[in-house]
Structure formats: structure tokens, C-alpha cells
């Protein structure tokens, strides 16, 4: 454990954290946040969050995520003079461990006021207002998409074929947008195929319809199903545990849900077929 300069602003920032806890901000969070603050006023601290309580300890105590930066930058970030994300992007602030935890930490504490900075009791000016939207929606499928979705209930994947350029459309569309003709011929494709372009997603973006954040990493993937060629790919997800083996050309098959409703999620995901 390092010797701290007990009178420094950095020590004061950590020393006052327990008294500045924002109860709503730490709700449901259990994690240890390590801080390695470099420079003459630096030191190491761990902010332990559990059961709606915050305990600040000196030294690093099993941190789930560790932040490293200089004493000057840490003071500037705390006082709001330096944007944390900018410091991070420019390499001034380094993070090891679970980045997602750190994003939640922005809401843990009430604003820090340096000693002697004058009265801080004046209520903050109202400049932002929080709102949550949640609406039910219904969409018509039309007969072409309807036929495709209905087929999923029988574990069949349908494409339709352009009579001019002969390309397959997945999912089927009423017309070929490039040839501007109706596509009336349906063809069953797959259900097995190969990985074409895998996209492994590490950044957890919330589902706007449910406000739930997806588990990461997940793999959004274009598959070339049997009977398809060129750009006739189908977009779906690859099983998360198959991500380390996700490569172009690897064979896959769909895994279906127990209950089939005629929607995209009837296919749970595609999985790699073991040779």
C-alpha cells in the first residue's frame, strides 16, 4: 500500500465518497472499483459497492475494474473540468477489467466540492428532465413477408427469386428493387449453410423496445445458406459459445425455439456443426 498525502485533494475525493453516495445510482450493483492514481498526490484506493452501501478502502482489494490516471487528471475529472470519456479516448485514463461497470459508476456519487470552494447547498438549476418511453406496436407483414414468417413455424426458411436477375431475396420482398419486377417464385433454402460475415459485438447497446441490455459478446452474422450464393445472405445471430470458432466458411445449422410463433426469433440462433 502506498503512502498517501492525507491532505491532498485526491485523498479528500476518496475520503468524502461514502458521504456523497447517491442511493439510486448504486442500486443493484455489487463490484469493487480499483483506482491507481499516479503523481505526488496519488495512491491506490478501492471503492467497494455492495448491498446499497459504499466502502472506500486504501490499496487495491480484488478490483473488478481498475482505473489508472494522474492525480491532476483525476481531480479534473471529479470536478467536471475534464470529460472522463475524452480522458479515456486520448489515453490519459486507462481501464482494465469490466468497462461496463465503470459506465454505471458515473451515477454513484453526488457532486464533489473541494474544501473551501464555498457553499454548495444551493439546489442545482433544473436544466434536464428524464423521460422514459414505452409503447406497444403492431406491424402488418403483407402476404410475402407473411408467407416467409409462417414457414418459420414449420422450420422452413423461404427465399423468393427475381425472374430477371435470378437473385434470391432473404427475407423475401414483393419486388426486386434493382430490376423493379414482382418476385413470385418461392424457394426453400438451407436450413444449413456457412458463415459469411461474422460481427462480434462487445459493446452492450440496450434494446430500445425493452430497455434491456443484451449480454455481450454476441455475434451478429451473415450466413450463406445452402442453395444461396454471392450476396444472398441471411442475417441472424451465431450462438455465443461458438464465437471463438466464428470464421468464414464454417458450417452452421439453425437452432429452433420450442414454441414457434412465426417471427424472426423462432430461430434462436445458428450454431456451428461439429465435424
Partner 1 sequence: MKKMKKNRNVGIIGVGQSVFSSHREEVNQPEMIHEAVVEALDQAGMTMEDIDCVVHGNMELFEMVHQPDLWHTIGTGAFGRESLRITTGGTTGATLVCAADALVASGLHEVVMAIGFEKLQEGHTTGGITNMADPLWTRKLQTGALTGMTATQVIDEFGEERAKKASMLYRIFMDKHAMKNDKAHRRLGLEFDQADDLAKKSPALVGELRMIHMCSQSDGTCVMIFASEEKARLHCKQPAWIKDHISVHREENFTIFGDALVVSTHRYAAKKLFARNDITDPRKQIDMMEMYDPSSWWGLDWIREFLMLEGDAHIRMVEEGDIAIDGAFPINPSGGVTASNPIGATAMVRVAEAAMQIMGTAGDHQVPKQVNTALASGFGGTMWTVLTLLTREAPEL
Q: Which three cell numbers stand for residue 125?
A: 438549476
Which of 1, 50, 99, 181 is the binder for partner 1 (CB under 8 A)? Answer: 99
Q: What are phi and psi of 79, to 5 degrees?
A: -80, 0
| Cα–Cα distance for residue pair 270/275, rounded to 1 Å | 15
Question: Which value, to the nearest 10 degrees, does the dihedral of the CA atoms of residues 141, 143, 146, 147 take?
Answer: -160
By C-beta, is 11 or 65 nearer to partner 1?
A: 65
206 touches partner 1 by CB under 8 A: yes
173 touches partner 1 by CB under 8 A: yes
| Cα–Cα distance for residue pair 61/47, rounded to 1 Å | 9
Which of 116, 122, 229, 275 is the binder for partner 1 (CB under 8 A)? Answer: 229
Rounded to a whole number of angstroms, the minimum distance from the CB of residue 144 to partner 1 is 11
By C-beta, is 115 or 208 nearer to partner 1?
A: 208
Rounded to a whole number of angstroms, the minimum distance from the CB of residue 90 to partner 1 is 4
Q: Which three cell numbers stand for residue 202?
A: 462487445
90 touches partner 1 by CB under 8 A: yes
By C-beta, is 91 or 244 nearer to partner 1?
A: 91
Beta pairing class for 193-201 and 218-225? antiparallel
232 touches partner 1 by CB under 8 A: yes
The region, left, alpha or beta by phi > 0 then psi within -120 to 50, assigned to residue 110 is beta
257 touches partner 1 by CB under 8 A: no
186 touches partner 1 by CB under 8 A: no
2 touches partner 1 by CB under 8 A: no
Q: How far is CA 35 from the centre of its chain?
A: 24
Q: Which three cell numbers stand for residue 86?
A: 475524452
264 touches partner 1 by CB under 8 A: yes
Binders of partner 1 among 100-159, rule CB under 8 A? 127-128, 133, 137, 139, 141, 145, 149
End-to-end CA distance of the chain, in Å? Answer: 53
Report the residue count for the chain.
275
By C-beta, is 56 or 200 nearer to partner 1?
A: 200
Closest CA to 236 of 248, 219, 252, 249: 219
180 touches partner 1 by CB under 8 A: no
DSSP H helices, 111-251, are 142-152
The contact set with partner 1 (CB under 8 A) reads 83, 85-86, 88-91, 94-95, 99, 127-128, 133, 137, 139, 141, 145, 149, 169, 171, 173, 177-178, 196-203, 205-209, 220, 222, 224, 228-233, 235-237, 263-265
Amino acid at each position: 500500500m502506498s503512502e498517501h498525502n492525507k491532505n491532498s485533494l485526491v485523498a479528500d475525493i476518496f475520503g468524502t465518497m461514502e458521504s456523497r453516495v447517491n442511493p439510486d445510482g448504486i442500486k443493484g450493483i455489487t463490484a469493487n472499483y480499483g483506482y491507481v492514481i499516479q503523481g505526488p498526490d496519488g495512491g491506490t484506493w478501492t471503492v467497494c459497492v455492495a448491498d446499497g452501501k459504499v466502502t472506500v478502502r486504501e490499496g487495491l482489494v480484488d478490483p473488478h475494474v481498475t482505473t489508472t490516471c494522474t492525480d491532476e487528471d483525476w481531480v479534473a475529472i471529479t470536478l467536471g473540468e475534464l470529460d472522463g470519456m475524452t480522458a479515456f479516448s486520448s489515453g490519459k485514463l486507462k481501464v482494465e477489467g469490466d468497462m461496463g461497470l465503470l459506465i454505471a459508476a458515473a451515477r454513484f456519487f453526488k457532486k464533489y466540492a473541494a474544501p473551501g470552494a464555498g457553499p454548495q447547498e444551493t439546489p442545482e438549476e433544473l436544466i434536464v428532465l428524464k423521460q422514459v418511453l414505452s409503447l406497444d406496436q403492431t406491424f402488418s407483414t403483407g402476404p410475402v413477408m407473411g408467407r416467409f414468417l409462417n414457414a418459420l413455424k414449420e422450420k422452413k426458411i423461404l427465399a423468393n427469386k427475381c425472374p430477371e436477375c435470378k437473385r434470391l431475396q432473404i427475407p423475401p420482398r414483393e419486388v426486386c428493387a434493382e430490376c423493379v419486377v414482382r418476385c413470385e417464385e418461392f424457394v426453400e433454402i438451407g436450413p444449413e449453410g456457412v458463415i459469411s460475415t461474422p460481427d462480434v459485438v462487445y459493446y452492450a447497446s440496450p434494446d430500445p423496445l425493452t430497455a434491456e441490455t443484451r449480454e455481450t459478446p454476441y455475434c451478429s452474422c451473415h450466413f450463406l445458406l445452402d442453395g444461396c450464393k454471392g450476396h444472398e445472405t441471411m442475417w441472424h445471430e451465431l450462438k455465443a459459445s461458438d464465437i471463438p470458432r466464428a470464421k468464414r466458411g464454417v458450417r452452421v445449422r439453425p437452432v429452433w425455439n420450442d414454441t414457434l410463433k412465426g417471427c424472426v426469433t423462432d430461430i434462436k440462433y445458428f450454431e456451428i456443426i461439429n465435424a
